[in-house]
A and B are shown apart, each in its own frame.
Chain A
Amino acid sequence: MELTGAKIVIQSLLDLGVETVFGYPGGAVLYIYDEIYKEKKLTHILTRHEQGALHAADGFSRVTGEVGVAIVTSGPGATNAVTGLATAYMDSIPLVCITGQVPVPLIGNDAFQEADIVGITRSCTKHNFLVKDVKDLARIIREAFHIAKTGRPGPVLVDIPKDITIHKCEYVHTDSDVNIRSYKPNLKGHIGQIKRAITLLKASKRPMIYTGGGVVLSDAHKELFEFTSIMNAPITNTLMGLGAYPASDGRFVGMLGMHGTYEANMAVSHCDLLIAIGSRFDDRVTGKLEEFAPDAKIIHIDVDPTSISKNVNVDVPIVGDVKLVLEKINQLISTASFKKSKPDLSDWWEMVETWRKKDSLAYSQGESAIEAQYVIQTLCELTKGEAIVATDVGQHQMWAAQFYNFEKPRRWVTSGGLGTMGFGLPAALGAQVAKPNDKVVVITGDGSIQMNIQELATCLQYKLPVVIVILNNGFLGMVRQWQEFFYERRYAETDMMSHQPDFVKLAEAYNALGLRAKLPNEVEPVLKEALASDRCVIVDIHTRPEGNVYPMVPAGAALNDMILL
């Protein structure tokens, strides 16, 4: 059947199983939006900013595992999408972003709303395409989805000039696999390497498991649980890896790294074997590289070869999909002979328990000022650790990571790699669209929430009952904390108190519910009311202005060199 380019875009999305897209219309995508208007099978969510559309598609993807889709126009629409693409790229989130472009004959002429978005996004996408012929359009869209979701996932951008969307060509639906001869990710781990890993696993007296976002992306949480049970080793998660292992399990020692727990960082510093799974030895995790896991042999399982031996030299690299590799390893260590020859770990566990007793996350809640930790702990109890929690970036994000105990994967939506303020609210609305029956909470700060506050309108338009908890300390808290510790309390431009909007009135202006707590005993009732509401709610919680995130490993220090409260 002969279809226009615009119709091919929509039909391709439907044929690929897409039901929901996030976007914002504009001149260059008018024909595409005309087809969206006519096609009732595709739900379009109109955000209030293109950045919001990208983060919403990102949040949608994080909670479902599916490819998130966003459509924006050319020029400023496309450049507004860049932060969303970079955020997804750093966290390996599969997205397809369709951008409009000026008509092919005008490209390069500085036409109205023209931007070289393929050039601009080359380094913040996994791949990008400019469609120059309508005959390539359907193939390129299929390839974009394939590239986005396979191997190490990531965002892919498809730039479509306006004239391509009215040109016609034959469209045939095909289910056949995409074949790109230069792109064949290695998914099955090398069996020789796996056997070398088994030898190390068998001999280790102080094994430590350190897992990242790769376990979530690969949906390998069951395999991870089995592996950890057989090994009976302590396990820590990175910020991105939270939820891949149930926090209530005794083997879990919390998050590691800059704001990780004492026991997690000490265990990594003292283990004799570190098993890194779907993690990438980020600088916020390792601290001073020379002193990271100094006594340990390292096994590293990752689908992306460039992650291996990038920052830390590893002894046994295994390139492959985490789920497939763990399945194979589990099979090989489930044998009686492995279990029999494995050393007794009770001395190791005794060390870990001693560290754990230090209770490095302890805080005390007085009667006058609200501690942020208390708010999150209460929220976690009220939601039984089962809410979908999105965050922005800063102190509140670290407190959420430390005090919200995730039992399940794909409930934690946070910008880990890029650290994008303004991510939380749009990502949460994307998650709520994907999971209408789940409770979605945004934990944010008074700084971050103002970066994409316009998405409140989107929440209201689509009746998304997102609960927004603002930990309002009147500061850009994390920057202020660094200024307090390392810049002799010179609080340069981090005071947000003056000219802060009244967040309750702001909520009401958007026709959302606005609630406030100023005293510790108001926290629980206010959170209960918010969680019970079927409307979008802002909860403005005034917390102690100079609260700090502990423990903290100063930038560049070794992991066992922590500032404790």
Chain B
Amino acid sequence: MRHIISVLVENESGVLSRVAGLFSARGFNIESLTVAPVGDEETSRITLVSIGEDHIIEQILKQLNKLIPVLHVADLTDGPHVERELMLVKVTAEQSQRAEILRIADIFRSRVVDATPSTFTIEVTGDSGKLDACLSLLIPLGVTEMVRTGQVALSRGDKGLVKS
């Protein structure tokens, strides 16, 4: 099963390699990974997506907790949560295809963020399924380049990851 794991870490050098190294050393897989400071300059939040059986995920959570600079670990897929991913796609847009591309962008409530006489760059956000669907329509039209952020997620409701 797919799990979204949120890890709050001390914002210090080497933390990301400790987390990533743990996955490679113990044979766990990472589907996606995002990391950024959360605003207080001391902590960063890593969001990981991993696929594995429950006992493997349980080991992953415990092993992450064991790393010294890790403050908190949670499996967001345990409860209700919202997840989002952002994708930028550069699509070949010759005259005959421009209208079609804009229609697809509109269906997925995405925005054109850059345009040239021969390309559009489109920004799409949503859950991973929506991004996949949008991409599958754009590929036949000619995708020059694309990038995805990987998923971020928060639990629903009034509680945060750490009790404040």
Evaluate contact between B18 and A310: CB separation under 8 angstroms: no
- Whether A181 pairs with B14 at a CB distance below 8 angstroms is no
Closest B residue to A305 by beta carbon equals B62
Contact present for A118 and B14 (CB under 8 Å):
yes
Among B10, B17, B58, B62, the most chain A Cβ lie within 10 Å of the Cβ of B62
Decide yes or no whether B25 CB sits under 8 A from chain A.
Answer: yes
Flag if A183 contacts B14 (CB, 8 Å): no
Q: Taking A118-B14, A122-B17, A123-B25 as contacts, is the C-beta distance between A182 and B62 under 8 angstroms?
A: no
A147 to B68, CA, bound (A): 9
- Closest-by-CB residue of B relative to A128 is B14
A305-B65 contact given A123-B21, A310-B59, CB 8 Å threshold = yes
A309 to chain B, nearest CB (A): 7
The residue of chain A having its C-beta at the shortest distance from the C-beta of B43 within the complex is: A182
**A306 within 8 A of partner (CB):** yes
B contacts with A, residue count (CB < 8 A): 20
In angstroms, Cα B59 to Cα A130, docked, is: 28
Residues of B within 8 Å of A223, CB to CB, are: none
What is the CA–CA distance of A180 and B66 in the complex, to the nearest angstrom? 13
Identify which of B25, B63, B69 contacts A182 (C-beta below 8 A): B69
**A272 is an interface residue with CB less than 8 A from chain B:** no
- A-B interface pairs (CB < 8 A), number: 36
Contacts A306-B63, A309-B58 hold; do A127 and B68 have CB atoms under 8 A apart? Answer: yes
Given contacts A119-B17, A123-B25, contact A306 B62 (CB under 8 A): yes
Whether the pair A122, B18 counts as a contact (CB closer than 8 A) is: yes
Give complex CA distance A309, B59 in Å: 8
Question: A283 → chain B, closest Cβ, in Å?
Answer: 15
Max count, chain B CB within 10 A of own CB: residue among A126, A182, A308, A310: A182
> Which of chain B's residues has its CB closest to A182's CB?
B71
- Chain B 60-94 near chain A by CB (<8 Å), digits 1 or 0: 00110110111100000000000000000000000
A91 in the interface (beta carbon within 8 A): no
Question: Shortest CB–CB separation between residue A85 and chain B, in angstroms?
Answer: 15
Instruction: Report the nearest B residue to A308, measured CB to CB.
Output: B62
CB distance from A314 to the nearest CB of B (A): 12
Contact across chains for A182 and B21 when beta carbons are under 8 A apart: no
A310 to B59, CA, bound (A): 7
User: Hey, what's the 0/1 contact readout for B17-37 against A, CB within 8 Å counting as 1?
Assistant: 110011001000000000000
* Beta-carbon contact of B55 and A306 below 8 Å: no
Binding site for A on B (CB under 8 A): 9-10, 13-14, 17-18, 21-22, 25, 55, 58-59, 62-63, 65-66, 68-71
4 smallest A-B Cβ distances: which pairs? Answer: A306-B62, A127-B68, A182-B71, A123-B25
Besides A181-B71, A309-B55, A313-B55, 12 more A-B contacts (Cβ < 8 Å) are A122-B21, A123-B25, A130-B13, A147-B68, A180-B68, A182-B9, A182-B10, A182-B68, A305-B65, A306-B59, A306-B62, A310-B59
